[in-house]
């Protein structure tokens, strides 16, 4: 019974800590905030409860209500993750949540995160400290600038019910809408901007977009020069990132949108890295493989700036005989000249059944695709044949020699092909035509993930409204239509390999991009050039 307050990092889902991600995969309940990237939720167990804490009704008691929910979950479940943007204790009221839990007798562990106050600036190439330029960093909320202070004296402040030191007065500003729930200032007091103006280091303002003009004015009143460099970074560490360099004099006129981090001081003039280029920025792309198989495709798409939705439509499981046939063949593997692998799954299943690595003896190994070859390398097997250009069944048939005597070995002319149930006959047929005796054995089967996270209606809705979808196998195409019952598909369809593209066409889809080289990189390149063509 522990509630983990976990920092999700500033934006990019890759910037969560390993500990944070590990807890997400184990959690029984996850409560997440508005600024948290939803992709982090794809590592959550399918049967876990996912609670959108940003959707609380907007009355003044939101935080009190949420604290109650946290306490209830904390009492009822073993592992509860409260996922908060940036660092859980930097603004965003994480401290109060921890106190409410401790008061209710719930164990709390706090997992730090990369705070936007530092991380967003660092990622944009703006140092918060620099030898000889800035020796200190001050992080302050801009929620209560001059203008809002005046405004507040007119409207009656609405104190939050709460315990003494945590009682807050706050007002809603438009920035609240895009911020984690119930962000508040520093206990309701307006920061002393005049005093802050006298500090020599870097001043970092969070939640300051709304009051930027007032903040600049008060810092200048306090003695800071109007020419002091200022930088605002919107949507830091995401493809929507925008960096605006300005000065205190002009901060008020800049067109800025929340969420943004504003840094004020000499370091704000720095630019230590060129802005990252994102050729797929803003494009929402669905991938349909399982998370582990997707890793490289998802990462490549994200690196290109796409918003990736992982929608694993297939799961693999043991074949109907639970692997008995595969075991029998693995026991006698030494009778074969070759074993051919066409997927990582086949490698994993085969090696799980192999009694002793030495049983392989001098059997030669062929693999289709770099990822398959890598899975073999991880087992210290350097494949003898991996087709270079055409990473497909056809490519492998071409790359394989014909049967013939090999020195030092008793050639049997036999090939073992551990495969997915229902795999297309292309490979076995081609090898037979070459003169090989091919034993096909079912190593695993793929089925539609109808019971998994793919069923989550919210996720299905996001998928249907995406810009593009990718398929890596014919089984993914059929599983998609099994899960998405109305058959709605995003407008752009990309496929890895001709066989997959053919399956997609047979299901009535127009295929826009086909990665002929059977690689994730080929698919990403195809999507990038399609986008460039569409732009021009
Ligand atoms: N606990 C969070 C801060 C919550 S306050 C943290 O440690 O980062 C929310 C404010 O953080 C926003 O108003 C904005 O000022 C800043 N912020 C959060 N994510 C941001 C991002 N990706 N880019 C720019 N500013 C961000």
CATH number at residue 186: 3.30.950.10
Q: Mutual orientation of helices 94-103 and 62-76 as an angle, nearest 10°?
A: 50
* pLDDT score for 178: 34
- The residue annotated as part of the active site, out of 12, 22, 28, 33, is 33
- Eight-class DSSP state of 14: G
275 assigned to some structural domain: no
Residues 152 and 208 in one domain: yes
CATH, residue 32: 3.40.1010.10
What local confidence, expressed as pLDDT, does residue 105 receive?
97
pLDDT at 156: 36
Residue 274 in any domain: the answer is no
| φ and ψ at residue 277, rounded to 5 degrees | -95, 135
**Which phi and psi (to 5°) does residue 72 adopt?**
-60, -50
Residue 188 lies in a domain: yes
Best of 10, 111, 208 to mutate for ligand 1, by most ligand atoms within 8 A of CB? Answer: 10
**What is the position in ligand 1's atom list of the atom closest to the CA of 116?**
8
Altogether, the residues listed in the chain come to a count of 536
Q: Are residues 192 and 135 in the same domain?
A: yes
Q: Can you tell me which atom of ligand 1 is nearest the CA of 87?
A: 7
Residue 322 annotated as catalytic: no
- What are the DSSP calls for 192-210, one per residue? -HHHHHH--SEEEEES-ST
Q: Average pLDDT for consecutive 10-residue bins of the chain (536 residues)?
A: 96 94 96 87 87 68 89 97 97 95 97 98 97 96 57 36 37 36 43 92 97 96 97 94 96 96 98 88 89 72 89 90 96 95 93 96 90 92 89 87 71 91 90 95 90 76 96 91 93 92 95 87 95 86
The number of CA neighbours under 13 Å toward the Cβ of 60 is: 11
pLDDT given at position 38: 81
Q: What is the largest CA-CA distance in the chain?
A: 95
Residue 444 and residue 455 in one domain: no
Final residue of a domain: which of 269, 300, 332? 269
Task: Name residues contacting ligand 1 (CB within 6 A).
Answer: 10-11, 35, 84-87, 90-92, 115-117, 120, 175, 179-180, 183, 206-207, 233-237, 258-261
What 3-state class would DSSP assign to 245? strand
C-alpha span between 217 and 252 (Å, rounded): 9
Q: Which atom of ligand 1 is nearest to 175's Cα?
A: 13
Six-digit token string for 102: 């401790």
- Structural element, H or E, at residue 72: helix 62-76
Q: What is the DSSP letter of 512?
A: -
Nearest ligand 1 atom, CA 115: 7
467 and 326 belong to one structural domain: no
pLDDT score for 167 = 37
DSSP letter for each residue of 377-427: HTTT---SB--SS--SHHHHHHHSPPS---TTS----EEEEEEETT--SHH
Calpha distance 359→120 (Å, rounded): 53
Pocket test for ligand 1, best of 137, 142, 206 (most atoms within 8 A of CB): 206
Is the separation of the CB atoms in 497 and 511 below 8 Å?
Answer: no
Residue 276 lies in a domain: no
Tell me which of 114, 141, 172 is where a domain ends. Answer: 114
Q: Are residues 250 and 179 in the same domain?
A: yes
- Say which DSSP state 166 is in: G
CA-wise closest residue to 313 among 467, 450, 419, 421: 450
DSSP result, 433-499: HTT-EEEEEEEEEEEE-TTSGGG-HHHHHHHHTSSEEEESSHHHHHHHHHHSTT----SEEEEESHH
95 and 162 within one domain: no
**What is the distance between the alpha carbons of residues 469 and 463, in angstroms, rounded to a whole number?**
8
Centroid of chain to Cα 333: 40
Query: In this structure, what CATH number is given to the domain that contains residue 367?
Result: 3.40.50.10090
Q: Do 209 and 132 share a domain, yes or no?
A: yes
Comparing CA positions, the residue from 337, 382, 381, 386 lying closest to residue 362 is 337
Q: Where does a domain end: 114, 142, 167?
A: 114
Q: Catalytic site residue 445?
A: no
Per-residue burial over 182-214, b = 16 or more CB atoms within 10 Å of its CB, e = otherwise: bbbbeebebbebeebbebebbbbbbbbbbbbeb
> Quick one: 124 and 182 in the same domain?
yes
Number of domains in the chain: 4
- The residue from 55, 356, 486, 535 that is catalytic is 55
Give dist(CA 300, CA 138) in Å, integer: 36
Do residues 153 and 130 both lie within one domain? yes
Residue nearest to atom 25 of ligand 1 (CA): 260
What are the backbone dihedrals phi and psi of residue 50, each rounded to the nearest 5 degrees, phi first?
-115, 125
What is the CA(118)–ligand 1 centre distance, in A? Answer: 10
Tokens of 523: 């698919």
- Whether 477 is covered by a domain: the verdict is yes
Structural domain includes residue 427: yes
Encoded tokens for 178: 């895009």
The answer to whether position 278 is within a domain reads: no
CA distance 208 to 116: 13
Range of the domain at 530: 284-313+451-535
Residue 161, pLDDT score: 35
Q: Is residue 28 part of a domain?
A: yes
Comparing CA positions, the residue from 88, 145, 82, 83 lying closest to residue 116 is: 88
13 CA → ligand 1 middle, Å:
14
Pair 418, 321 in one domain = yes
Residues 321 and 426 placed together within one structural domain of the fold: yes
Residues 418 and 494 in one domain: no
């Amino acid at each position: 019974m522990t509630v983990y307050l976990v920092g999700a990092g500033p934006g990019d889902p890759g910037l969560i800590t390993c500990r944070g991600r590990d807890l997400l995969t184990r959690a029984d309940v996850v409560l997440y905030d508005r600024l948290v990237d939803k992709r982090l939720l794809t590592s959550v167990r399918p049967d876990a409860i996912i609670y959108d804490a940003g959707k609380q009704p907007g009355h003044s008691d939101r935080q009190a209500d949420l604290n109650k929910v946290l306490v209830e979950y904390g009492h009822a479940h073993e592992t509860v993750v409260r996922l908060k943007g940036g660092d859980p204790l930097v603004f965003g009221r994480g401290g109060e949540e921890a106190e409410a839990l401790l008061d209710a007798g719930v164990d709390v562990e706090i997992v730090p995160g990369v705070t936007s106050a530092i991380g967003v600036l660092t990622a944009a190439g703006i140092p918060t400290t620099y030898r000889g330029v800035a020796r200190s960093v001050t992080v302050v909320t801009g929620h209560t600038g001059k203008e809002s202070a005046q405004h507040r004296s007119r409207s009656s402040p609405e104190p939050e019910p709460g315990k003494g030191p945590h009682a807050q007065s706050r007002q809603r500003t438009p920035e609240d809408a895009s911020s984690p729930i119930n962000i508040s200032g520093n206990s309701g007091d307006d920061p002393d901007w005049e005093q802050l103006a006298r500090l020599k280091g870097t001043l970092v303002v969070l939640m300051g977009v709304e009051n930027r003009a007032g903040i600049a004015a008060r810092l200048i009143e306090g003695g800071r020069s109007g020419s002091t460099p200022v930088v605002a970074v919107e949507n830091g560490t995401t493809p929507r990132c925008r960096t605006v360099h300005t000065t205190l004099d002009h901060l008020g006129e800049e067109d800025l949108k929340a969420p943004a981090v504003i840094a004020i001081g000499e370091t704000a003039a720095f630019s230590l890295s060129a802005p990252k280029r994102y050729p797929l920025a803003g494009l929402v792309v669905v991938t349909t493989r399982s998370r582990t198989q997707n890793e490289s495709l998802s990462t490549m798409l994200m690196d290109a700036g796409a918003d990736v939705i992982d929608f694993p439509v297939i799961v693999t499981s043991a074949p109907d005989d639970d692997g008995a046939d595969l075991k029998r063949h693995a026991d006698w593997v030494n009778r074969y000249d070759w074993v051919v692998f066409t997927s990582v799954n086949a490698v994993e299943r085969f090696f799980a059944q192999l009694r002793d690595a030495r049983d392989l003896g001098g059997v030669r190994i062929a693999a289709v695709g770099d990822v398959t070859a890598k899975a073999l390398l991880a087992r210290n097997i350097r494949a003898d044949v991996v087709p270079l250009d055409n990473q497909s069944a056809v490519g492998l048939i071409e790359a394989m020699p014909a049967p013939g005597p090999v020195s030092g070995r008793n050639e049997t002319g036999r090939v073992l092909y551990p495969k997915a149930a229902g795999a297309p006959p292309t490979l076995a047929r081609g090898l037979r035509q070459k003169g090989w005796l091919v034993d096909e054995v079912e190593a695993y089967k793929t089925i539609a993930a109808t019971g998994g996270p793919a069923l989550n209606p919210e996720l299905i809705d996001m998928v249907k409204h995406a810009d593009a979808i990718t398929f890596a196998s014919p089984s993914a195409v059929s599983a998609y239509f099994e899960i998405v019952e109305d058959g709605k598909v995003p407008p752009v369809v990309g496929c890895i390999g001709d066989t997959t593209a053919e399956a997609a066409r047979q299901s009535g889809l127009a295929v826009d991009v086909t990665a002929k080289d059977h690689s994730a990189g080929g698919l990403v390149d195809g999507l990038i050039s399609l986008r460039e063509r569409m732009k021009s």
